[in-house]
Amino acid sequence: MRVMIVGGNQMKYFASRYYNYANKLANGFIRNNHTVVRFFDRDISRLSNIFRSRKMGVGSANERLLDQVSDFEPDLILFVHADVIRPVTLEHLKGRFPGVKLAQVGVDSLFMPGNVQRLNTKSPHVDATFLTTAGEGLKKISGGRPAYYIPNIVDSGMETGQAFDADCDIDLVFVCGSFDAEGGDPRLATLDVIRERLPDIRFPYHVDHETGGLWGANYMRTLGRSKCGLNLSRQREGPINIGKAEDLYIYSSDRVSQLTGNGVLTLTHEQFYLDQLFSEDEMIFFSSNDDLVDKIAYFLDNDGERRRIAKNGWKKAHEELNERLAAQYIIDIMFREKLSHPYIWPTEKVVSPG
């Protein structure tokens, strides 16, 4: 098949965030013998006017998408956070190319301000929506079209580390883009408790707005020499946008695939229900900060057990949560009546009225 992926990464981040979701999906489709063309809506919008303004180039970017689709004639178009593309353009696509299937993919939390609204500008116009949140949260996608869960995925060409088999010089690592700008981010309290109770462990953390973050090959290399990693996903965005239980179900940032994919013993809070994907023999689940600290201390003192569980998690991620299966799953949903593989993640279709 011919597949067009619209959106995903941007030119300014293309190397530093080469492991982003859209790049992995593109690799998955290609490795499954499909042809892939990319359309970077934000960059094309900026490059379409002398002021390099995204807003001023929106109309031109939408016109260029129609031209590119006319030339490529894709069977499937995936929109990955392609906010520049207007709903009317989706209708034009369906009218001019009646055989094409349209889907959108969202990897941000449902409680992120404006995220559900952005998804629902496209949901009535696409054939399906795929989100990295499962269960009841999918009911927030309106428009009468189906919504599905899709997991965070690893790519063996990107997540190349095997920390379970390495001589690691980092005991614990945590990397994120930012903390809640409004204050009260519970992840800060977690980090403080760890530093207070385990002051002697080698524990670097990298936060973009504080330390410049950790990106690109350096990020992957760091994970490959880390014994344990914190998969602390956001639970809120400011004092109002607090994640409800349905917003957190089998949700995680893509950090989980980067940690498990590089063979790091991954610790995550049980409230996110990642035990639906990983067993206790593949990932460490904690219920509180005290429980987390106790488990970090235990596995740093029991290196053989740490390596064994980390390897199990790495194997599960690479075998069952990879880019090829995610691409195959999308093809199954969009074009086939039955699934072609016993996927380990929830595959239920959720449809909410418009």
Q: Give the model's pLDDT for residue 336.
A: 94
State the Cα–Cα distance between residues 222 and 228, nearest whole angstrom: 11
User: Are the C-beta atoms of residues 230 and 193 closer than 8 Å to each other?
Assistant: no
Query: 302: closest CA among 196, 233, 227?
Result: 227
Beta partners for residue 241, in sequence order: 237
Residues 6+ apart with CB under 8 A from 264: 161, 163, 173, 223, 226, 227, 228, 229, 310
User: Are the C-beta atoms of residues 58 and 45 closer than 8 Å to each other?
Assistant: yes
Q: In CATH terms, are 2-153+322-351 and 163-320 the same topology?
A: yes
Amino acid at 111: F
At residue 176 the predicted structure's pLDDT band, cuts being 50, 70 and 90, is confident
Q: Give the model's pLDDT for residue 182.
A: 65
At residue 299 the predicted structure's pLDDT band, cuts being 50, 70 and 90, is very high
pLDDT surpasses 80 at 110: yes
User: Are the C-beta atoms of residues 150 and 330 closer than 8 Å to each other?
Assistant: yes
Mean pLDDT of all residues in 212-223: 92
> Domain-by-domain residue ranges, the chain?
2-153+322-351, 163-320
State the Cα–Cα distance between residues 308 and 320, nearest whole angstrom: 18
Q: What is 163-320's CATH number? A: 3.40.50.2000
Q: Give the model's pLDDT for residue 277.
A: 98
Residue % of the chain over a pLDDT of 70: 97
Architecture of domain 2-153+322-351: 3-Layer(aba) Sandwich (3.40)
At residue 132 the predicted structure's pLDDT band, cuts being 50, 70 and 90, is very high
| pTM of this structure | 0.95
pLDDT surpasses 80 at 87: yes
